[in-house]
Amino acid sequence: MADTVYCYCCRTHHPRELMRLFRTRHGLRWRCLRTIDAARRPSGERDEFGRQMTAQNREQSRRLADLGHLRHLYPLEAGESR
């Protein structure tokens, strides 16, 4: 197993060409490119996703507020007939 390096992130061995030295607070550790990429990329995508969700939620609560506003105009359709 001469060309594999232990990946502290996956806790397994990967081929050396997929590994990079990565600085952690415990010092330098070997880590594979896949987990380095995964750690780097999604944070931006997650932020973007979060922004979209927030906009959707705002739109939805605005629509619900509109429905609530209409409710007193049509109380029977709003299920208040019992």
Judged by the rule CB under 5 A, the positions of this chain that interact with Zn ion are: 7, 9-10, 32, 35
CA distance 76 to 4: 71
Q: Rounded to the nearest whole angstrom, what is the least distance from the CB of residue 44 to Zn ion in the complex?
A: 21
Residue 16 or 46 with smaller CB distance to Zn ion = 16
13, 7 Cβ separation under 8 angstroms: yes
Residue 60 one-letter amino acid: Q
Residue 10 or 70 with smaller CB distance to Zn ion = 10
Q: Rounded to the nearest whole angstrom, what is the least distance from the CB of residue 13 to Zn ion in the complex?
A: 9
* CA 45 to chain CA centroid, nearest Å: 7
Residue 20 or 63 with smaller CB distance to Zn ion = 20
The 3-state DSSP composition of the chain as helix, strand, coil percent (nearest 5) reads 50, 25, 25
Q: Rounded to the nearest whole angstrom, what is the least distance from the CB of residue 39 to Zn ion in the complex?
A: 11
